[in-house]
Structure 1
């Protein structure tokens, strides 16, 4: 059996590449779209809108966040129904 040695700094740079960041952002946009389609409008809070933050570099690559930022209705909807977890496919 042969041994494989990974170039971890090179792998991290690959995960921070502009093309990789686009793919990460597209995946986050898909999650946000699923969350928005599953969201439940409430009388008091209104229509929930889940948003995507621009991908940023992290210690191990790139990350993009889907959040309830500045949208009370999305916070209420997510707290009541776990919408973001369901949109990712976790429940």
Structure 2
């Protein structure tokens, strides 16, 4: 089910979604984030969720995946850093 990545860093992410075709609680430890335009598949652990959003930690399964993910995050053509506005990027969490 598609999600929107609201915030992401090496350790985790904030995801926004409209419809989920599964129970997040049921799969909280078995989700994989498939990044757009990338072959990387990163296992995530959902540790907090609300109506239409979830916060996840990445379970970097190997040093190779972790290094590739770090390169992707540093690639300015792939990832854009958002301006710091002093507020959370997605309402009340």
State the TM bucket, normalised to the shorter chain.
0.3 to 0.5
Greater per-residue helix proportion: 1
Structure possessing the higher relative contact order (Cα contacts under 8 Å, 6 or more residues apart): 1
Q: What TM-score results when the alignment is normalised by the length of structure 2?
A: 0.32
- In our comparison, the structure showing a higher alpha carbon Rg is 1
Q: What TM-score results when the alignment is normalised by the length of structure 1?
A: 0.33
